[in-house]
Structure 1
Amino acid sequence: MRYLEITVPEGKRRAVLDILEDEGIDYVVSDETSGRGYTAVVRFPVPTRAVEPVLDRLRRAGISDESSVVVINAETVISEQFATLRDQYSHGGQKGARTSRQVLRTKADELTPPFTIYTVMLLISAVVATAGLLADSPAVVIGAMVIAPLLGPALAANVGIVTGDDRLKATGFVYQLVGVTMVVVASIGLAVLARIAGLEPAGVDIVVATELGERVSPNLFSLAVALGAGIAGILSLTRGFSEAIVGVMIAAALIPPSAAVGITVAWGMYGAAVGAAVLVIVNLLSINLAALATLWVAGYRPQGLFEVSPSRTPTYTYAAIFGIGLLVLAAPLAGVTLLDFHTTELESSADDEVESVLNESEYDHLEAAAVAVELDGDYPIQSVDQVVVTVTGQDPGPEPGLADRLYEAIEPHSDESLVIEVQYVVAEQRGGETEIQQVADRSSSDS
């Protein structure tokens, strides 16, 4: 429920009161004596659903932006006439409270902090996220998501589009672009300092060391987080759910990948940086597309019937830009997804074949310990490099012909050339201590 207080311009008093009476609204009117061109102040309670249509009618009657309109949350209204009005706006008995367009603009604007605060909070978030990724600490990365103020800009841009508010739209997009750029630049600086300080030695595979793989080589499932964040963000804004939790979800889609761009650039792994950058762009597009579609489906439009058509064109234009961008960038993501499926299938098939070969009588003294498919590390779209089979046994030396035998069994399950590496792990007792010996044997199409 909402309680409205509106200043009525000269000459509009009768028109305003006629609209309120026609709507069945119980109002209180008092004279306005400030001498500023207003004749009265009218106050009345309405159901939340009624705020937008009532304000639209009043606007067409002459209540312009120069008039003062205050919308206040009301705890309860005890009135038989209000109960009738609430039933009138319940739409089939459902008394759900969709936020009005006017309140929606205000909430989106309030969720966008002043630029100085925004940049400071994002810089802190970037430092924390980069440190968390370098330290391989999920808890620290989550902390970076909590403090990132990204919800407001993501929602403001799309609220501005569908309601025709150019200022809100421009603010939202500028904040998003500046914010992501700041996180990337700050992450590069911190990662470079980490390398210089020797906190992470140069020459290591930083992607493997910090488990950045899912962020530098993203697949199609990465879209789910961003699309869900965009939809949930709008629902939280329009239905009164917790914005803080949704803000963390949006930050989860943008902060870690942006920090991953900076880390991989600092390590000179530009292919991995491209993969992380693609994920950042895809998530930005997904969040905005999902938010825009949700707002449009929910029925948010600019003021008045005659402004719907002009708003439809820019909304469709932005939706097309977001959608085409996603389709273009979905190609490499689809390639990574297919590779993931192929790797999983190859590993399962290789595991079965290894078990079958080692069940042969001549290999009774060997036992399979692990089967792993390793990729070549050529980010962002990798390929299968080799299949590593780890076996245990009493003899520390390679088993003659085993690598070739495994190659013959596994190779038909792959469409590309394979390298099969067999690692022999032998445990020996020496002086009361266990000593592990590891010997490798390889086989490929060139051997």
Structure 2
Amino acid sequence: MLHLRLITPAERTEDVVRVIEENVGTTHLVVLPGAARDPAGDVVMCDVAREAGDELIASLRKLGLDEAGSIAVESIDLSLSRRADEAEKDAPGEGADAVLWEQLSEATHEESTLSATYLAFLTLATMIAACGVVLDNAVLIVGAMAVGPEFGPLAGLSTAIVRRAPRLALRSLLALLLGFAAAMVLTVGFSLLMDALGLFSEARLEGERPNTGFVYAPDAFSFVVALLAGIAGTLSLTSAKSGALVGVAISVTTVPAAANAAVALSYGDTGQTAGSAYQLLLNLAGIVLAGTATLFTQKWLWARSRT
């Protein structure tokens, strides 16, 4: 179930209430006249089955409530109510299959912002991965994958394509391109510093690396894994399964490939640099392609289930 808290101008309250009452899957309607102060108006609250939430939010936006008032949506972890059970039963489809497009757009918008925090996490993840490739340490590689925040803008790009949102697409592309560029440049400097301290060496990078050599040797499996991870990651976002998203983060060679490219570049190894860059681009493309296809499929299946 979802809980909606609305602030509505007094003259639009009746229209808002009518939309809620006519929407299948709603219950626990509360109207508090004059309770809102900023902006001034009435407060309307209700609960709605997740599978009916996107339609209700869209109807409220058509009334201009997002401009004249406010629409706040929260997930309800526990609702002990017979009426809530009936509302979920009346709503068509299954809540686990429903996509809240407004929520997805908002989430990916936040995760796709080229902020100092985003750059810090991506750079730290790349530096950790740099240590992992030089030491041939798979544990460090996995840790770097988990720290990396790059799935946010990848999901944002897929969402932008499906929703035809050019601003979100541009924001996501900038976060990806500038983020990885900055992280790799800083990691080149980090690699040179570690080499000066005697902690990194070209011999280690060029030696046998059975645990991490794959990061600069892309093959068909790299693209297949990227496709599967893109599907899983998109499903985890639309169903709010954060645990699954962590699993996706540690299954795709994006940050490790960027790290290996940076370290190899610091030693002038163009072969490993090119191979790692190709691995990085292959994985990014696979995730975006799979994520976009998944969202289109979910949109089509959901529309079909409601006809």
Aligning the two structures, in what range does the TM-score lie when normalised by the shorter sequence? 0.7 to 0.9
Query: For residue 245 of structure 1, what is the aligned residue in structure 2?
Result: 246
Task: Find the residue that maps to 2:241 and give its secondary structure.
Answer: coil
Q: 1:89 aligns with which of 88, 91, 106?
A: 91
Give distance in 2, aligned partners of 1:187 and 1:37.
48
Query: For residue 267 of structure 2, what is the aligned residue in structure 1?
Result: 267
- Over alpha carbons, which structure has the higher Rg? 1
Q: 1:219 to 1:31 in 2, by over 3 A?
A: same
Using the TM superposition, give the Cα deviation of residue 253 of structure 1 relative to its aligned residue in structure 2, in angstroms: 1.9
Q: Is the CA contact 1:2–1:48 (under 8 Å) kept in the aligned structure 2?
A: yes
Q: Is the CA contact 2:135–2:204 (under 8 Å) kept in the aligned structure 1?
A: no
Cα deviations across residues 247-293 of structure 1 (Å, max 9, x unaligned)? 5236x421111111122222322123212111111111111111111
Cα deviations across residues 150-196 of structure 1 (Å, max 9, x unaligned)? 22222223223323444433322211112221332233223334444
| Deviates most, 275-284 or 264-273 | 264-273
Q: Is the CA contact 1:12–1:62 (under 8 Å) kept in the aligned structure 2?
A: no
Task: Find the residue that maps to 1:240 and give its secondary structure.
Answer: coil
Q: Is the CA contact 1:7–1:67 (under 8 Å) kept in the aligned structure 2?
A: yes
* Amino acid of the structure 2 residue aligned with 1:256: P
Query: For residue 210 of structure 1, what is the aligned residue in structure 2?
Result: 209
Cα deviations across residues 322-370 of structure 1 (Å, max 9, x unaligned)? xxxxxxxxxxxxxxxxxxxxxxxxxxxxxxxxxxxxxxxxxxxxxxxxx
Using the TM superposition, give the Cα deviation of residue 37 of structure 1 relative to its aligned residue in structure 2, in angstroms: 7.1
Q: Is the CA contact 1:8–1:40 (under 8 Å) kept in the aligned structure 2?
A: yes
Q: 1:77 to 1:43 in 2, by over 3 A?
A: farther
Task: Find the residue that maps to 1:121 and give its secondary structure.
Answer: helix
Query: For residue 47 of structure 2, what is the aligned residue in structure 1?
Result: 45
* Amino acid of the structure 1 residue aligned with 2:174: V
Using the TM superposition, give the Cα deviation of residue 199 of structure 1 relative to its aligned residue in structure 2, in angstroms: 4.5
Give distance in 2, aligned partners of 1:187 and 1:6.
47
Q: Is the CA contact 2:7–2:36 (under 8 Å) kept in the aligned structure 1?
A: no
User: Please, what TM-score do these two structures have when normalized by structure 1?
Assistant: 0.60
Tell me if 1:76 matches 2:79.
yes
Q: 1:157 to 1:13 in 2, by over 3 A?
A: same
The 5 Å alignment of 1:154-193 reads 154-193=154-193
Q: 1:14 to 1:267 in 2, by over 3 A?
A: same
Using the TM superposition, give the Cα deviation of residue 38 of structure 1 relative to its aligned residue in structure 2, in angstroms: 5.3
* Amino acid of the structure 2 residue aligned with 1:106: E
TM superposition outliers: structure 1 runs of 4+ over 6 Å: none
Give distance in 2, aligned partners of 1:234 and 1:103.
13
- Gaps spanning 5+ residues in structure 1: where? 301-447
Query: For residue 297 of structure 1, what is the aligned residue in structure 2?
Result: 297
User: Please, what TM-score do these two structures have when normalized by structure 2?
Assistant: 0.84
Query: For residue 140 of structure 1, what is the aligned residue in structure 2?
Result: 140
Using the TM superposition, give the Cα deviation of residue 114 of structure 1 relative to its aligned residue in structure 2, in angstroms: 6.8
Q: Is the CA contact 1:122–1:182 (under 8 Å) kept in the aligned structure 2?
A: no
- Gaps spanning 5+ residues in structure 2: where? 301-307
Cα deviations across residues 222-244 of structure 1 (Å, max 9, x unaligned)? 11222122111111111121255
* Amino acid of the structure 1 residue aligned with 2:127: V
The 5 Å alignment of 1:59-74 reads 59-74=61-76
Bigger helix share: 2
**Greater length-normalized contact order (CA 8 Å, ≥ 6 residues apart):** 2
* Amino acid of the structure 1 residue aligned with 2:208: A
Using the TM superposition, give the Cα deviation of residue 197 of structure 1 relative to its aligned residue in structure 2, in angstroms: 4.7
* Amino acid of the structure 2 residue aligned with 1:217: A
Query: For residue 21 of structure 1, what is the aligned residue in structure 2?
Result: 21
Please provide the CA RMSD for this pair: 2.7
Give distance in 1, aligned partners of 2:130 and 2:280.
15
Query: For residue 281 of structure 1, what is the aligned residue in structure 2?
Result: 281
Using the TM superposition, give the Cα deviation of residue 36 of structure 1 relative to its aligned residue in structure 2, in angstroms: 6.4
Q: Is the CA contact 1:148–1:248 (under 8 Å) kept in the aligned structure 2?
A: yes
Q: 1:18 to 1:34 in 2, by over 3 A?
A: closer
Q: 1:10 to 1:60 in 2, by over 3 A?
A: same
